[in-house]
Amino acid sequence: MTYLFIALIGIIVGVINGMAGGASIISYPSLLAVGLNPLSAVVTNALGAMPANFFAVRHHKVSFARLARDNATLIYASVVGTLLGAFLLLNMPISALQKLIPFLLLFATCTLLIPIPDRPTGMGPLKETSAIFVTGLYCGYFGPGQGVMVSATLARDSRRTPSLLNATKNVIVGVTVLMSNIVYALSGHVNWFYALALGVGAAVGGNFGGRWSIRMSAQFYRRLVFAVGIASTIGLFIKYY
């Protein structure tokens, strides 16, 4: 039953990540709830949620290869950041991470309040690349909320339609998470059974999320994730403090 619960959480994560991003805020506390320690939950969550971004891209008109080629600089910056973040995460004592986790989850939840402008506000290539590097660093260290930060950064460019923005976000986040997950997979901290259950669910949900993102507003999902994130943050502060 525990694995079925995690798989169902994965479906929810896949749908929301495919449409709006930020749903790892839901899956991370779920992994803590089934008994994983904070470090194991971070790396297992990252591996399990990864399929959502790649399956979501399938429903956009622009191919993955073209998106990767057109955004190569941003992808490289994000990958460098995430490898550095993963190194920092895996070399921090779990006891110290426990004290940071409630604050990190609160920060991740608050990323949902980052305004994504309807009209571009302007951001030069250097600033955009630097911002994406920071989101990659955050991804490697913790992860939940990265997709929202990437979307908020990409939205400053007038050349990106909403559909193209979402597809570009999914590619950047997907490649970034893939690289950090290679490091995580070799760390010995992954619970592979939970990662598999979460991953299967995320793949199914990401397939639907990518399809629905083309024609459906993501505001409801963002509000749902925010409410769950706040509740989970309060629970973690009570647990660790």
Q: What is the pLDDT of residues 1-28, one digit of tens each?
A: 798 999 988 888 777 766 656 677 888 8
Instruction: Give yes or no for residue 75 having a pLDDT over 80.
Output: yes
Copy the structure tokens of residue 173. Answer: 């986040």
Residue 205: per-residue pLDDT: 77
Determine the pLDDT at residue 198.
92
Using the predicted structure, report yes or no on whether residue 144 has a pLDDT greater than 90.
Answer: no
Q: Identify the band that residue 78 occupies on the pLDDT scale cut at 50, 70 and 90.
A: very high
The stretch 202-219 carries a mean pLDDT of 64
pLDDT of residue 184: 94
Q: What is the mean pLDDT of residues 148-161?
A: 77
| Single-letter residue type at 136 | G
Mean pLDDT computed over 190-208? 86
What's the confidence (pLDDT) of residue 209?
A: 60
d(CA 121, CA 131): 15
